Structure 1
Amino acid sequence: MGRRKRQDSSDGDEFRLKRTFQTMLSTVDQLMRELTFACGTLLELKLVNLGNLLAKGVRVELKEHIVSVLVINLGNYPGQASAYATLVGLINVADFEFASECVFFMVQKMGESVHTRDWNKCRGVVHCLVDLYNCRVISSSYILNLLAAFMKDCEALKDPDDLVGITPQVRRDFLAYCVLSAMPLIGRELELEAAFDKLMVSLQIYIKKRSALHSTMLSVWRDFNQRDYLEVMWQQVDGMRQNHWAEPEHQLIPRPYKSFDETLRHGKVHHLRNYCLSAHEEGCRYPAPRVCFRIFSCDSVGEIPNLPPPVSIERHLLEAQILDMLISFHNERKICADSLWMYAASKPQLPVYYCIVEVILGEMLRLPNAKWTTITYGSLLVELCKRQPDKIPQVVVQALDIIYNRLNSMSVACFDRLVNWVSHHISNFGFNCQWSKWAHSLPSPIDPSATNLQPKVVFLRELLKKCCRLSYHQRIKEVVPDILVNFLPPPGLPHFKFVDETLPGAILSKDLLEAMRCPRASPKIISEIIKSSTGIGPLLKINVFTQNCLHLGSKSFSHTFAILAKYQSVFKDLVKGDWDGQIAVLNGVFDVWVASDHYKFVVAEKLVKVFIIEPISIVTWIFGPSMRKELTKMYIWELLHSAVRHLKRVQHDVEVVDVDNPNACDPVVKSVLYTVVERLVKILCSAPFADEGTEEHYWFQWVLGRLEETLFIYADDFKVIKNKLMKISENSSDNRPEVSKTIAAFVACVL
C-alpha cells in the first residue's frame, strides 16, 4: 500500500513538472511575441519581464525552443531586430553559454535563409547581429567582416557592361541593401575604423557603377521618372555620414538596449569565426528592384509641416519601419492597423499618417507586381480610416486627388489595381467620393461616350462599373452628380434577339425554349432537337442554344450557373475540340449580355472553369477583329488573366514537377502566353499612326500598356521564352518602335 502511494506521488511530481514546463513554454512564447509593434506596453518593460523569467534557470528543452522562436520571429518581424538583440544581450549577462548558442544558431540560420530564399529572415538576422555589437555581445571585427562578406559580390563589379562571371544585379542589390540599411545602427560607433570606411567607399562605388535602367520601366508615372530605391537610400545614409552620424530625432532608430546599458556592460564578448557568404545559385529568385514612390510633396499638396525631406535619413527610417509593420502583420488587418496607429501616436511631432498612406499606396501600385492582393491594402486603409476618422480619411482623399490628377501619365499596368482599390474603399463609406470635383476637372465639353478614351474618362467609367458591381445600378445613380450620370453603364438587362421570328435560327430557338421549359427536359432531348434541326449551320446552332440557356437563366447568376450545369454535357458534345464552336458560344454570351460587362466576364469565366471553353479560345476570341474596341475595357483583361490562371492551376495539378527547376513554365501555359503576346503585338503593329489626343492614339496607348502589364504579370513564365520575345521585338521594330522598346526594356530590366 505504501509503495503504491510512493509511486502515485512520483507520477504526480512528474505530471506537475511537465505542466510547469508547458506553462513556462507558453509564457515565454507569449512574451517573445509581444516584442513586436502590436502591443501597447513599453518595450523595455517587456524585456525586463522576459529577462527575469529566463534568469531563473532554463531547461535544455526550453533553451532550444527559445533559440528556434528567436530566429523565426526575426524572419516574421524584421523591424524588431533591436528588441531581440537586447534580449540576447540580457541572456548573455546571465548565461554566457546560452547566449553563445543563440548567436551561433542565428549565424547558421542566416546562411540557410539565403538557400531558402527567405530574404526577410536574412535581413532581420543581419540587423540583429549588428545590434548585438551595440549590446556588447559580439566584437566589432566580426560585424565588419560580416558586412564585408556581403559586399564581396558588389566589389567584384568592375564594369556594369561586363556580365560574364558575375552574380546577377538583383543579388548584389539585396546584399548592398542589407549592408546599407545597417549603417545607421553602427555608424557613430565605428566611423573611425578603417574597415568601416572601406565599406562606405565600396558602397559608393557600387551604387555609382550599377545599372538603374529599370527605374524608367518601374515608374508609376510616365512623365515622372521615379528614382531607384537603392540610389536614394545611399544618398540618405551618406547625408547621415556627412552629419557625423548624428542620431535622428524622435527615436527613429529603435535602441531599446540603451535602457539596459549598465546591465549589458557586464556581459562577455563572443569571438566568432569570419563569415563566408554562400555563392549565387542558378535559378535563385532575389527581391525585385524597386523605385521610390512619392505623392506628397510641396508641388502636389503644398508644405506638410515637419515632413522629412525625401532624401533625408529620417524619411527612410519612417518608411522602412512602416513597411516592416506591413510585412509582419499584412495578414491581420486589425493588428496591422493598431500597430501603425500606435507607431504614429508615439511620434506626434511628425506627420506619420502621410507616410503610412504613401507607403501603403506605393506598395499597392508597385511595379512590376504588388507583393499582396489589392484587397489586402484596401482593407487596411479602411481599418485605419475607422480607427482615426479625424486624420486618415483626409490624407487618403488628398492622395486620391493627386493620383487622379496624374492619371494622364499613369502606367496602364497600375490602372486596374487603382480602380479596384477606389471602388472597394468608397463602398465602405456609402460611395461618397469627390465625384463633382473630378467631373469638373474633365476637359470641356464632357464627352461620356465609349469612344472617348482619355484616361480620366476611362477611369470614371470603369470605376462606376465596379461600383455597380459592389452595389446596384439605381443606388449608384442616386449617389453620383447629374454631370456623371451618363458615365454610368446601362442597366444590366439581357437582350434576346430570337424574339424576332424572321431571324435565322429563330425556329430552332422556339423549339428549344418549349423543350427546356418543360419539367421533363433533359440534355438528351435537347441534343436530339439540335441535331434534327435543318437549314442552319452548326455554328449558328451552338449560338442559338447558348442564347437560349442564358435567356432562361438571366434572372440571376445562380440561375445562369444552374442551367449551364444542367446542359454542360450538351455544350461539351457541341464544342469539344472545336475552337470555332467555342467562339460561337462566346459570341452567344456577348449577344445576350451586350449591355453588361460584368455578366459577360462572369459567364465566360464560368464556361472556362467547367471546361466548356478552352483558355486558348478565350485568347482567340479576345484578339479577334470584332473585339478591337473592347480591348480598352477592364473586363476583357480580367477574363484573359482569369483564363490563364485557370490553365496554370489545371496544368499544375497534372504535370510532373521538375525537381531541378520547380518554377519551370508548363509547355501548354508557355504556348498560350506566347500566343497572347504575339496577338497583342500583331494588333498593335497593324494599328494606324495617329496624332496625339485622337481616339486612335489613346487606343494604341491603352493596348500598349496592357502588353506591358501582361509581361509584368507573367514575368516568371516569360523567362523561359525570353529569346522568342526578343524575336517578336525585332520583327515589330520596323512597324512600331514603341512595341519593340517595351518588350526589349522588359527583357533587359525585369528578366
Structure 2
Amino acid sequence: MSRRRHSDEGDGEWVSMLVRFLSDLVNCHVIAAPSMVAMFENFVSVTQEEDIPQVRSDWYVYAVLSSLAWVGKELYEKKDVEMDRLLNQIEGYLKGRQKTHVSMLQVWTAEKPHPQEEYLDCVWAQVQKLKKDRWQERHILRPYIAFDSVLCEALQHNLPPFTPPAHSDDAVYPMPHVVFRMFDYTDAPETFNLIFIKPFLITVKRDVSSIYFRGLRNFKAVVLLMWWIILCFRLINWFSHHLSNFQFRWSWDDWADCLTQDIEKPKPKFVKEVLEKCMRLSYHQRIVDIVPSSFSALIPANPVCSYKYEEETELSTPMATTVSNAIKNRASNEEILIVLKDVPNPNQDEDDDEGDGFNPLKIEVFLQTLLHLAAKSFSHSFSALAKFHEVLKNLTDSDEGKLHILRVLYEFWRNHPQMTSVLVDKLIRTQIVDCAAVANWIFSPEMAHDFTRFYVWEILHSTIRKMNKHVQKIQKELDEAKEKLEKQQNKKQRDSGDEEDMEKNSEDEEGQLEEQIERLQEKVESAQSEQKNLFLVIFQRFIMLLTEHLVRCETSGVDINTTWYKNCIERLQQIFLMHYVIIQQYMGTLENLLFTAELDHHILAVYQQFCALQL
C-alpha cells in the first residue's frame, strides 16, 4: 500500500474499500487472520504518535472499525485476546478525542428529529452492537460461503508487514464528517445494523453517476435531477427543476402558513428563493399566473431594468442623451471617452485642475446608458461590454472605480438577479473588475438589502472559484515549463558527445525556458497574493458585519440570535468548508491579522472549529 495524499473523500474512501477487501479475503482463507490483526494493530498504533493532527489517527481508526463488520467474527474466533486489546485501545482513543469541529459540520443544530452523530462515534456504536450480537449479521453478501469446502484447504498468505508512513506537514487527510441521519436506530429492525447502509448508498451513487454521464445527451433534465437528489444537492435548486418538469403545479395552499411569518424566516425565504429559481426556468408572468395571489409578497419582482435617466428631472439626463446618441451612431471607444470628458466630477472642486480622478458620475452616465441600450438580452449586454471594453477599463482604473461600476450594475438590474450574476461574471472574465472588488461590493452597505439572498452567495462562490482556477492554471503552466526544462537538461546529458551546433541550440532552448519559468514564477506569486487578499477581504468584511451586529445587540439588550445573524454565521462556515483546501494555505496570515484572541468569541469559535477539522 503506497503512500499517497488523501486530499479528498474519494481517495480516503477508496483506501477504506481496499482495507475492507483485504478483510474479506480472510473469510475466503486467502489471507491469514493473524497477519490481518497485525495490520490492524499497526493502523491503531498511529493513535500513540505524538505531534500529529487528529485527522491522521482518526482515519486509521476509521479504516479498522469500518472493516470489522466483514471480518470481526473470523478474527474473534482465532485472535480474541488480541482483538479485545485492539478495541480497548480504540475505545480509549475515542474517549480522549477533541470534537470541536462537530458543531460546524452538523446538518442542523437540534437533536430532532434525529441526533447528528460524529462519524467515528457512529461507527463505534455500530461495531459495539455487532460485538454484542457475536458478529452475527445477514446483510453482507458472502458468495464464497458456497465454496467453503474448497477454500478451507487453500494455502493462506500472510500480508507483508505494513508500517503507516510518517506524517509530514504537507500531508492531507480526509476531513471528519457528521452522519446525515435520515433514519433513527429504532426505525430499523433489531437485526439490522446501519453500518451496512453506506456501502449500498455508495454503490447507488456510482451507478447513478455512470447513468448520468452515459445518458446526459438524451436524458439530461431527468437524470440531472436524480444526480442532485442522490448527492443531496441544494433543495431549492432541485425543487425548482422538479416543478419545471411538472408545469409548476404544486399544492401551494399547503404552504400558506409561511405568509404570516417574517419574510426572512426559513419557510418564506425558501418559497421566495424557489420561485426565483423557477422564474429562471420560465418567465415572470408564468410564475404570477400559477402562484396564488396570496403569495404575491413572495413572487419575484418583474425583471425589468431601472434606467435612472428616463426622468427629465434627473440633472444628468442631457449628458446621458449625448452618450446614447454617440453609441447609436457607432462611436469608437476614443470618441466615447472624449464625450465623457465633459461629465463633471462631483468629487472634484471647480478650481481643482489636477488630472482625472475617480468620477462616479462618469461611470453612472456611461454604464447606465450602455446597459439600457443593450437591455434586450444577455447577448446584447455581452456584446456591449465587449465593444466598449476600453472605455470600461479606463473608467475603472482605480479600486473605487471597480467598486462603483458594480454598484451601478446592481442599481440598474436590481430586479433581475440572474442578469446581475452573469454580468458580474463577465466583468471578472474581461478583467474590468477584480475578485476583491466583487467581495467588497457584496459586503457593502448598498447590498445589505440583498445580503441574505441566494444569488449573492452564488456570485461570491463563483468569484472564489474563478480566482482559484486562475492560480491553478498558472501553477500548471509553471510545472509544465519546469518539467520541459528538466527533460531538456536530461537530453543534453545523454547527447553530450554530439556536435557543437546541437549543444548551442540546446543552450538557447534552455535559456528561453529559464526565462519563461522566471516569468511564470512571478505570475504565480502575483496570483497567489491576489488569492490571499481575496480571502482576507472576505473574512475581514464578515468580521466587521458580525461585530457590528453583536455590539448593537449588546448595547440594546437584544438576543444576538436573529435570523440575519444565523444566516451570516452559517455563510461564514460555508466559506470555510467549501474552500478549506485553499484557506489552509493562509491560516497563519488569517490568525495573525484577523482571527486573533481579541476577537469576539462567537466569531472566533467558527475559526477554531475550522482549525479543528485538520488538527
TM bucket by the smaller chain?
0.7 to 0.9
Counterpart-to-counterpart distance in 2, 1:699 and 1:718: 25
Q: What is the CA distance between 1:730 and its match in structure 2?
A: 3.7
2:178 to 288, 291, 298: 291
CA contact (8 A) 1:505 1:541 kept: no
Gap change, CA 1:375 and 1:515, over 3 Å in 2: farther
The one-letter code matched in structure 2 to 1:668 is E
Q: Deviations over 1:601-635 (max 9, x none)?
A: 22122111111111111122222222222211122
Counterpart-to-counterpart distance in 1, 2:321 and 2:215: 58
Structure 1 match to 2:127: 237
Q: What is the CA distance between 1:478 and its match in structure 2?
A: 2.8
1:548 correspondence with 2:359: no
- Kindly report which structure 2 residues correspond to 1:199-598, keeping only aligned pairs within 5 A, or say none: 199-224=86-111, 226-248=116-138, 252-297=139-184, 307-308=188-189, 314-327=193-206, 330=209, 332-333=211-212, 378-380=225-227, 417-440=234-257, 442=258, 445-446=260-261, 452-518=263-329, 520-534=330-344, 538-576=359-397, 578-598=398-418
Structure 2 match to 1:42: none
SS in 1 for 2:66: helix
Q: What is the CA distance between 1:528 and its match in structure 2?
A: 2.0
- Kindly report which structure 2 residues correspond to 1:639-718, keeping only aligned pairs within 5 A, or say none: 639-655=459-475, 656=478, 666-687=528-549, 688-689=552-553, 697-718=562-583
Q: What is the CA distance between 1:313 and its match in structure 2?
A: 5.6
Counterpart-to-counterpart distance in 2, 1:265 and 1:336: 44
Q: If the length of structure 1 is used for normalisation, what is the TM-score?
A: 0.67
**Greater Cα shift, 709-718 or 672-681:** 709-718
The one-letter code matched in structure 2 to 1:436 is D
Gap change, CA 1:270 and 1:651, over 3 Å in 2: closer
Aligned sequence identity (%): 28
Counterpart-to-counterpart distance in 2, 1:199 and 1:146: 11
Counterpart-to-counterpart distance in 1, 2:584 and 2:560: 34
Counterpart-to-counterpart distance in 1, 2:588 and 2:470: 26
Q: What is the CA distance between 1:335 and its match in structure 2?
A: 7.9
1:178 correspondence with 2:63: yes
Structure 2 match to 1:638: 458
Q: What is the CA distance between 1:463 and its match in structure 2?
A: 1.7
Structure 1 match to 2:37: 144
Counterpart-to-counterpart distance in 2, 1:606 and 1:563: 11
Q: What is the CA distance between 1:567 and its match in structure 2?
A: 0.8
Q: Deviations over 1:93-130 (max 9, x none)?
A: xxxxxxxxxxxxxxxxx234568983333222212221
Gap change, CA 1:455 and 1:693, over 3 Å in 2: farther
SS in 2 for 1:330: helix
Structure 2 match to 1:729: 595
Gap change, CA 1:121 and 1:232, over 3 Å in 2: closer
Calculate the aligned-residue CA RMSD, in Å.
3.3
Counterpart-to-counterpart distance in 2, 1:463 and 1:572: 36
Q: What is the CA distance between 1:296 and its match in structure 2?
A: 3.9
Gap change, CA 1:308 and 1:510, over 3 Å in 2: farther
Counterpart-to-counterpart distance in 2, 1:666 and 1:289: 27
CA contact (8 A) 2:37 2:75 kept: no
Q: What is the CA distance between 1:253 and its match in structure 2?
A: 0.9
CA contact (8 A) 1:113 1:119 kept: no
The one-letter code matched in structure 1 to 2:273 is E
**Greater Cα shift, 639-648 or 465-474:** 639-648
The one-letter code matched in structure 1 to 2:376 is K
Counterpart-to-counterpart distance in 2, 1:289 and 1:232: 12
SS in 2 for 1:125: helix
Structure 1: gaps spanning 5 or more residues:
1-109, 158-164, 338-373, 385-395, 397-413
The one-letter code matched in structure 1 to 2:595 is S
Q: What is the CA distance between 1:141 and its match in structure 2?
A: 1.5
Counterpart-to-counterpart distance in 1, 2:83 and 2:361: 77
Q: Deviations over 1:267-320 (max 9, x none)?
A: 32224443323222322111110112123459xxxx86xx347xx762220233
Q: Deviations over 1:319-355 (max 9, x none)?
A: 3321244257535438899xxxxxxxxxxxxxxxxxx
Gap change, CA 1:683 and 1:666, over 3 Å in 2: same
Size of the alignment, in residue pairs? Answer: 544
Counterpart-to-counterpart distance in 1, 2:53 and 2:378: 49
Q: What is the CA distance between 1:582 and its match in structure 2?
A: 1.6
SS in 2 for 1:729: coil
Q: What is the CA distance between 1:722 and its match in structure 2?
A: 2.5
Gap change, CA 1:675 and 1:560, over 3 Å in 2: same
Counterpart-to-counterpart distance in 2, 1:669 and 1:184: 45
Q: What is the CA distance between 1:261 and its match in structure 2?
A: 2.3
Counterpart-to-counterpart distance in 2, 1:336 and 1:596: 33
The one-letter code matched in structure 2 to 1:516 is I
Counterpart-to-counterpart distance in 2, 1:635 and 1:435: 23
Gap change, CA 1:509 and 1:750, over 3 Å in 2: farther
The one-letter code matched in structure 2 to 1:149 is N
Gap change, CA 1:481 and 1:180, over 3 Å in 2: same
1:605 correspondence with 2:498: no
Structure 1 match to 2:74: 189
Counterpart-to-counterpart distance in 2, 1:498 and 1:143: 78
SS in 1 for 2:314: coil
Q: Deviations over 1:51-83 (max 9, x none)?
A: xxxxxxxxxxxxxxxxxxxxxxxxxxxxxxxxx
Q: What is the CA distance between 1:434 and its match in structure 2?
A: 4.9
Gap change, CA 1:501 and 1:657, over 3 Å in 2: farther
Q: What is the CA distance between 1:236 and its match in structure 2?
A: 0.8
Gap change, CA 1:381 and 1:621, over 3 Å in 2: closer
Q: What is the CA distance between 1:375 and its match in structure 2?
A: 11
CA contact (8 A) 2:237 2:277 kept: yes
Gap change, CA 1:166 and 1:737, over 3 Å in 2: closer
